[in-house]
Amino acid sequence: MLAQLVIFAAHPTLLPRQMDALDPDFPGLFSDRERRSGHGITLFLQGAVGNVSVAFSASDPWIREQEFAKELSHANAGVALSPLGPTPLEVRTATIGLPNPDASRSAPRGLQNIGRNLLCRSAPSKVEVSELKLGTLKLLFVPGEPTVGSEKRLLQVSGADRVVSLTNGYFGYLEAPDLVLAHQGESKRQYFGPELLEVLASAARLAGHSTQLTRGD
């Protein structure tokens, strides 16, 4: 095997934030194990990650990341593979404007106007959504952290097989509109109002019909 693409939804936060050393956390250890097992280069991507972290207990964080990387390798070994011949590659992109930021869930009452002004200065005004088609595989790339619920909507409108998050910039979290209105889920971390998901859904549709197209073999 020359290479593999792995999409996994969990932040690499098994180690403490404050350390005196650099460490790739479990994605790096997993990718190295896969290379030594003959699986070639691993491209490790985040799926509908939201605010998900790994639930894997061990007394020592260094042991925890190693053991989880091992468990992930065991799970990956159970995935059925098939040979892939010459495959057409298509990449489509769509750029879409974002709504005004909404600080109603993140700032205390009375400070929401200040919070909105701060978000307006720092939040992006537009984003790029991309679609990658590799043979029969179709991936949708979004510049944020969608939850499982918002991923379901994006897959529905785009026809993609999976959503890949944290690509081509960053607009923050993406939660389902009903949870945003109820101030539940990851909505308190979302910079925009409940209309954000449908804005991204529109971009997902556009990505499939964009004139910005690259083809290759």
- pTM for this model (two decimals): 0.86
Residue 30's domain comprises: 3-77
Same domain membership, residue 201 and residue 109:
yes
Same domain membership, residue 146 and residue 96:
yes
Among 77, 105, 124, identify where a domain stops.
77
156, 148 contact by CB (below 8 A): no
Among 77, 107, 123, identify where a domain stops.
77
Which pLDDT score, from 0 to 100, does residue 214 have?
40
Question: Percent helix, strand, coil in the chain (nearest 5)?
Answer: 35, 25, 45
Domain annotation covers residue 84: no
Which pLDDT score, from 0 to 100, does residue 217 have?
35
Same domain membership, residue 129 and residue 184:
yes
Which pLDDT score, from 0 to 100, does residue 171 have?
93
Same domain membership, residue 98 and residue 151:
yes
Same domain membership, residue 138 and residue 166:
yes
Same domain membership, residue 144 and residue 57:
no
Same domain membership, residue 93 and residue 68:
no
Amino acid at 164: V
CA 206 to chain centre: 19
Q: How many domains does the chain have?
A: 2
Cα–Cα distances in angstroms (integers) from residue 207 to residues 3, 14, 96, 133, 164, in the given order? 26, 35, 10, 11, 14
Which pLDDT score, from 0 to 100, does residue 209 have?
64
- Ranges of residues in the chain with a pLDDT under 70 are 103, 105-122, 209-217
Terminal C-alpha separation, the chain: 19
- Distance (Å, whole) CA 92 – CA 204: 10
How many other β-carbons are positioned within 10 Å of the β-carbon of residue 213? 11
Same domain membership, residue 170 and residue 99:
yes
